[in-house]
Amino acid sequence: MLIALSTGIKDVCLVQSGAYVLTAGWLLLASVISPLSAQTVNPEDSLRAGLIASKVLEAERQAFIVARQAISTSNAKNNLTGTFALSGSHIQTDKADTPGGFTSSNSRSGSVTLRKQIYDFGEADSRMESARYGLDSARASYQSSEQQVILNILTAHLNVITARKAYDIRANNTKRLAAQTDAENIKLEAGISTPTRLAEAEARLARAKSDEIQAAANLLSAEEAYQSLTGLNNYNLHPLTRQTANLPATIEEAEQIAAMEHPLILSGLAAEKQAGIEFKILKASLLPKLNFSLSAVQNDQQGTSMDKDEVTSKLEFSTPFLVTEGSRAADRRAAAGVSRSRAQLAETRRNVRLAARKAFRDYEVARAQLASVEAEINAARLVAQGTASEVEYGLKTFLDQLDAEQSLSDTELRLVQTQEAIILNSYRLLQAIGRLSVEMFLPEDILPALDSISDPASRYPFIIAIPSNSRAE
């Protein structure tokens, strides 16, 4: 069902010298969906649909799986490995003194070798530690993305509500001015008004129609953004409530909480530690290694006495003794990685701190503005009422009345925007300090827990599945 356009409004907007048909504008207005026929959608419904549809979170989950698999593969060099080899040959030799002119022989051999690294001066342990920090970084990165997605969904939900209220205000203003214009036209025909007053009314009506068309466009854009995030349409959105739980009382508290709890900082800390450990791994790779191997070999050479079976065990001690340019380059890359991770962490701390302070100020400013706007709208209503009475007694002009009524309409819109800003900024503040979570809205688990997600390898028979529970707490 489409929004019913204001009755009495002409399709032709009269502006000074001519009349212009607002065909495109009215088509835009006619495309705005009425909430009266729509399905009721709560904020929880929006979050549920948006979180499930989020490709950002899907990518972050895959990144977490990769980081979890790295823990299992980090210690692969220390695992017992086995190899099996089988070979055979046929040799034919041309000899003049041999009956038939040639001789031939066959040989077969097989071997089985087991190998295990005994000691590597901490390289494997360092690789395991690095993988754990990588998993911690991936987990924190997912949490940060999840909070941003939640905020985006709530913002889109609230933007639709705000845009619809703004449209209603503009549509009512258009209806009011259309009625005034019709009344002035009747008065002019009766000789109790002037062409100037009618022109003033028509000019204000034209402006109101333009504002209404812009409001309709804003509403459609808000609805499209909401639908893109959630996949929902034909909706009547229930309002959000201002969040007060877990909000900091001061700007200093906001900054302190963000520094300790924001996932971006936690991810940066883990990444910094991982970079430092990668440097240790490089150093350990240049130290000696102690390996043990056990092999069994069977040789069978037809027609000879070379057949033999042997079992060999070895204890190998090896160490690199040449420092190549590649090693030097790897050393420089590792050192640069440590410096880069520290610089990135410092930048993240700064950005998070500034974002927390800004979010707190925006929230407090919106709260402070509400009282002023409420006082302003009360005054605007009195002015509009008083001006209408004074016009009847000739104390004010008709233009004064139009100005007063337009000011009232603008103030009503500003009140709606301020009320919605308080709600939205409360959630922005929670996200800025790292405390915006799904549990605030949905008690049930919408998405599977990270540690319970199966590895993609389990869906492909040619890939060896890596245990998903390898995370060492």
Mean pLDDT throughout 201-210?
A: 92
Name the CA radius of gyration of the chain, rounded.
38
Mean pLDDT of 257-278: 92
pLDDT-wise least confident of 237-246, 249-258, 292-301, 458-467: 458-467
Residues in the chain: 473
| DSSP category for residue 410 | H
Average model confidence (pLDDT) for the chain? Answer: 80
C-alpha–C-alpha distance, residues 438 and 430, integer Å: 12
If pLDDT is split at 50, 70 and 90, which confidence band does 70 have? Answer: confident
First-last CA distance in the chain: 56
pLDDT of 325 reads: 65
What pLDDT does residue 463 have? Answer: 42
Q: Is this structure's pTM higher than 0.75? A: yes
- In one-letter notation, the amino acid at residue 393 is Y
Split at pLDDT 50, 70, 90, the class of 468 is very low
| pLDDT reported for residue 103 | 63
Name the one residue in this structure whose structure tokens are 């009349």.
19
pLDDT at 322: 60
Top mean pLDDT of 52-56, 109-113, 469-473 is at 52-56
How far is the C-alpha of 22 from the C-alpha of 31, rounded, in Å? 14
User: In this model, does residue 66 exceed pLDDT 80?
Assistant: yes
Cβ atoms within 10 A of the Cβ of 107, count? 17
Assess whether pLDDT exceeds 80 at residue 39.
no
Please state which of the ranges 214-223, 317-326, 424-433, 456-465 shows the lowest mean pLDDT: 456-465
Q: How far is CA 190 from the centre of its chain?
A: 64
Average pLDDT (101-105) is: 62
In the predicted structure, residue 11 carries a pLDDT above the cut 50? no
Tokens of 218: 């804003």
Phi, psi of 398 (to 5 degrees): -65, -35
More confident residue, 150 or 21: 150
Residues 214-267: tens digit of each pLDDT: 999 999 999 999 999 999 987 789 998 888 888 999 999 999 999 999 999 999
Asked if 162 and 416 touch (Cβ cutoff 8 Å), the reply is yes
Q: Beta-carbon neighbour count of residue 301 at 10 Å?
A: 16
At residue 305, the pLDDT reads 54
The tokens for 90 are 């046929």
- In the predicted structure, residue 423 carries a pLDDT above the cut 70: yes
CA neighbours closer than 13 Å in the CB half-sphere of residue 389: 5
Percent of the chain surpassing pLDDT 90: 40
Predicted local distance difference test score (pLDDT) of residue 74: 73
Between 3 and 162, the higher pLDDT residue:
162
Domains of the chain with bracketed CATH: 12-74+120-286+323-459 (1.20.1600.10)
Give the whole-number percent of the chain exceeding pLDDT 70. 78
